[in-house]
Structure 1
Amino acid sequence: MATAPKASPKVVPIDESAAAPAKKSKKKLILMVVGALVLTLGGAGGAWFFLGQSKESHADGSAPPPPKVDPGKPPVFIAMEPFTINLQPENGEQYLQVAFTLQVADQAQVDLIKMYMPALRSRILLLLASKKASELSPVDGKKKLQDDIIAQVKQPFTPQGQPQVVSGVFFTSFVIQ
């Protein structure tokens, strides 16, 4: 019995090059675009978070307004006479002798502060007398004192008055004994 040789099936190449690569390239393109978008948004969000937020903030989370000092004008300073006060007792009697200079917006602010100098000195004396030596000794304590002094100076001198424009307190002498 002789059998006829079986014909091997013919391999017919299917032209998938037109359909399959188009789907793969669209998927790759979409993934690349989405990936680039995610990276861009993530980078922008990170930059906003780390660079956009101020170090200081108010209790409600908003950033404090910048001081109203014109950068084109030279700074205007007013030197305060030294203060010598007794600090709150911790380890016996201690006192603070401090001198500082205020940076204000303009000469009008200097004139206003000079006119109300007794009231301003009283405010600052009460502030200083409420402190303890341990609060004022570290650098952070001195920085907080600067902020507290600015807050006292900014308070209006009259009930309907405008607040003073003060942008800095610079210690020229600071002795705790």
Structure 2
Amino acid sequence: MPPAKQPTLDDAEAPKKKRGLGGKLLTIVVIVLVVLAIGAGVVVWLLLQKKNDLAGDGTESVQEPAAAQVSMEKPPTFVALDPFVVNLQPESGERYLQVIMAMRVADEKTAQGLSAFMPEIRHRINLRLTGKLPSEISTPPGQEQLAGEIAADVNAVLGSPAERGPTAIVHSVLFNSFIIQ
């Protein structure tokens, strides 16, 4: 019996190259077909959407999102307050709060009129801040609650019929910086 031919390195690589090239080509073809199918599906969907929009009788009421309904003809008016640095109620040692805030007000006339009330507004805000525990205001919900309380306090100083919201003099309080140390 003749001795079996020992496979060489060249013999082992040749079939792999053919299989690898064919496998790569097949993979590329499949990917291209999938991308083309997805693209065709998107085009058909867009055409159907456009056809449905044109086929409407025009009496349909389209609700725009609330953010899209904001009129930029009258931009919002903000009043920036000087920074506050206060001691917080003790839980475990001395804790301080440094906060920079702004108030969104009804209009420019209101913003200019706030300066007459600023000493009392700052006093009320200082009282509100120093009465807080660090754990109460260290979370986003706690900070939102604090902002609402401050807005209600300022509206009370200004004699607003509403405590907060779009009908109040001060619509909202926004924190630009909020650091608890």
TM-score by length of 1: 0.56
Q: Which range moved further: 128-137 or 105-114?
A: 105-114
How far apart are residue 156 of structure 1 and its match? Answer: 3.5
| Equivalence for 1:131 | 132
Partner of 1:153: 154
SS in 2 for 1:116: helix
Name the CA shift for 1:162/1:148 in 2 (closer, same or farther; >3 Å). Answer: closer
The match for 1:37 is none
TM-score by length of 2: 0.55
Q: Distance in 1 between matches of 2:136 and 2:157?
A: 27
Q: Partner residue of 2:80?
A: 79
User: Residues 75-114 of structure 1: matches in 2 within 5 Å?
Assistant: 75-114=76-115
The aligned amino acid for 1:131 is: K
The equivalent residue for 1:36 is: none
Aligned mates of 2:93, 2:126 — CA distance in 1: 20
- How far the C-alpha of 1:153 sits from its partner, in A, is 1.1
The counterpart of 2:178, out of the listed 170, 174, 177, is 174
Partner of 1:92, secondary structure, is: coil
- Give identity over the alignment, percent: 44
Which entry has the higher C-alpha Rg, 1 or 2? 1
Whole-angstrom distance in 2 between the partners of 1:135 and 1:156:
24
Q: What amino acid is aligned across from residue 83 of structure 2 in structure 1?
A: P
Contact between 2:86 and 2:98, CA under 8 Å: does it hold in 1? yes
Provide the C-alpha distance between the structure 2 equivalents of 1:110 and 1:142, rounded to a whole number of angstroms. Answer: 23
Residues 13-28 of structure 1 aligned to structure 2 (within 5 Å): none
- Which contiguous aligned blocks of 4+ residues in structure 1 show a shift greater than 4 angstroms? 161-164
Query: Deviation of residue 124 (structure 1)?
Result: 0.3
Post-superposition Cα deviations, 1:9-59, rounded to whole Å, max 9, x if no partner, equal xxxxxxxxxxxxxxxxxxxxxxxxxxxxxxxxxxxxxxxxxxxxxxxxxxx
Equivalent pairs counted in the alignment come to 105
Higher percent of residues as helix: 2
Q: Secondary structure at the match of 1:103?
A: strand
RMSD: 1.6
Q: Where does structure 1 lack aligned partners over 5 or more consecutive residues?
A: 1-69
Distance 2:172 2:160 in 1: 18
Structure 1 letter corresponding to 2:115:
K
Q: Please give the per-residue CA displacement for 1:60-93, whole angstroms capped at 9, x wherever unaligned.
A: xxxxxxxxxx955210010000000000000011
